Amino acid sequence: MSDFFKKSDLTRKQAESIISDTLRKCDDGELYLENTKSETILLDDNKIKNSNYNSDLGFGFRAISDEIVAYSHSNEISKNSLKQSSENLKSTLKSANGIYNYSIPKSNKKYYDNINPIEQKTLNSKLEILNKVNEYLRSKDDNVKQVTANFLGEQKSIEIIRSGGETLTDARPLTRFNVSVMLEKNGRKETGIYGVGGRESYDTYLKEDNWKKVCDEALRIASVNLESKPAPAGEMKVVLGPGWPAILIHEAVGHGLEGDFNRKKTSAFHNLMGQKVASEGVTIVDDGTLNKRRGSLSIDDEGTPTEKTVLIENGILKNFMQDRLNARLMKTKSTGSGRRENYRHIVLPRMRNTMMLSGKQTQDEMIKSVDKGIFAVSFGGGQVDITSGKFVFNCTEAYEIINGKIGYPIKGATLIGDGPSILKEVSMVGNDMMLDPGIGTCGKAGQGVPVGVAQPSILIDKMTVGGTKL
């Protein structure tokens, strides 16, 4: 655990007194301290291209009065710097006249170990694996023209000091291993990308078989795409595979169920609480408590313990995801969803691991039921317009379905749909729920945070596929 005051002219006592004084007439607020160590080691084009180590230290001081948030951050943990931030907050909230809410729920549960993944493995052993990845892929297929592989590791230590001196801490490990391979055959080039990760040590992925599986999957996707034909254009049935395709859930409904957009009534879902927003059999939860998953947190970035929040139960909208600010203004409680990319950013209600739970049907039944449509197995990224509800995501592996059979692979295409209505088009929910491999990063208001998704196979009766073949 970091001692943020060790090399500072500012003592913990002095900090506590500045915090309490600044937040005296505010409704909420805290000092957030963060120390992050991270590394990137990249192999590209047959060489170790980059080895970077980053050490990031800073604080963010937040004061809230009614709906107004005042925030100030700096890299210098010093008396002067904290005092200047305090002056900034006070000048914004001159007329604050609230009552500070001291209460914050407690939990001792931890969903990951206090480890620094970077220090657990020597540089040489990481370099060695990257070189093996390169050799393995190039020897496996003559069409391999480019291999990129990298390790990303970090340990983020945080401390939250609230008015009155209450202190909450967390230390979060995060690792990721990615492989990208480009094939070239008969003048045509295609790429396949795969990765794994989570809040645990590199060792989970570095064992012989594990890294080979990641390589094999990247190579398989690239090989499929080499044979792909232009994707169809227009509305049709879509079968989504299990696991990572759940970014559809993340984009289509997840963002629209975040507390801030609903308090502001700018989400297409704001007036649908308690109403049917999905087909019967569709249940969606957002869970911060899964062991060592990428989107898991023991406490959120306001200090609230995370939980498993039921968003949609059997088709009915049950809950939004809340941070403390939006929960207070909507007269409900925080769901432990208050997150920030780092100390440079304000807290927003965000997703953690968003999952659609299993139903009863099989993927086979779904494909057999489709006369004309597509089967989407893997995706790149997605995006949503919260207000109109329209969302997109990009297929990176997909096939045409004709007369109940899987046909040829199709080129990457964007799929577009309408968030509030798409879940009513779900006509089958599979029995094969799967978690994603641990690679997701969600962007909102310029802040990226690690998230997870999960879902079973599903059949959507109508979606627009953005191909080029009419």
Contact positions with another protein (CB under 8 A) in 163-202: 182, 184, 188-191
The yes or no reply on residue 285 touching another protein (CB under 8 A) is no
The yes or no reply on residue 51 touching another protein (CB under 8 A) is yes
CB of 255 to another protein, least distance (A): 12
The yes or no reply on residue 140 touching another protein (CB under 8 A) is no
At CA 296, angle to CA 293 and CA 298, rounded to 5? 130
- Cβ proximity to another protein: between 215 and 285 the closer is 215
The yes or no reply on residue 97 touching another protein (CB under 8 A) is no
- Cβ proximity to another protein: between 386 and 428 the closer is 386
User: Which residues ranging from 422 to 461 are in contact with another protein (CB under 8 A)?
Assistant: none
User: Which residues ranging from 197 to 256 are in contact with another protein (CB under 8 A)?
Assistant: 231, 233-235
- Cβ proximity to another protein: between 329 and 406 the closer is 329
The yes or no reply on residue 75 touching another protein (CB under 8 A) is yes
- Give the interface segment with another protein, choosing from 41-49, 103-111, 276-284, 328-336 (CB under 8 A): 41-49
The yes or no reply on residue 83 touching another protein (CB under 8 A) is no
The yes or no reply on residue 106 touching another protein (CB under 8 A) is no
CB of 55 to another protein, least distance (A): 4
The answer to whether 244 and 437 are in contact (CB under 8 A) is yes
The answer to whether 174 and 184 are in contact (CB under 8 A) is no
| CA-to-CA dists, residue 125 to 54, 119, 132, angstroms | 20, 12, 11
**In this chain, which of 229, 264, 368, 372 binds another protein, going by CB under 8 A?**
264
CB of 395 to another protein, least distance (A): 9
- Give the interface segment with another protein, choosing from 86-94, 152-160, 310-318, 349-357 (CB under 8 A): 86-94
Name 436's Cβ contacts closer than 8 Å, sequence gap at least 6: 243, 244, 246, 247, 452, 453, 454
Number of residues counted as binding another protein (CB under 8 A): 81
User: Which residues ranging from 370 to 389 are in contact with another protein (CB under 8 A)?
Assistant: 380-388
Contact characters 108-127, another protein, x per CB under 8 A = ---------------xx--x
CB of 53 to another protein, least distance (A): 5
The yes or no reply on residue 132 touching another protein (CB under 8 A) is no
Contact characters 306-345, another protein, x per CB under 8 A = --------------------------------------x-
The yes or no reply on residue 58 touching another protein (CB under 8 A) is yes
**In this chain, which of 11, 54, 107, 275 binds another protein, going by CB under 8 A?**
54
CB of 234 to another protein, least distance (A): 4
The yes or no reply on residue 275 touching another protein (CB under 8 A) is no
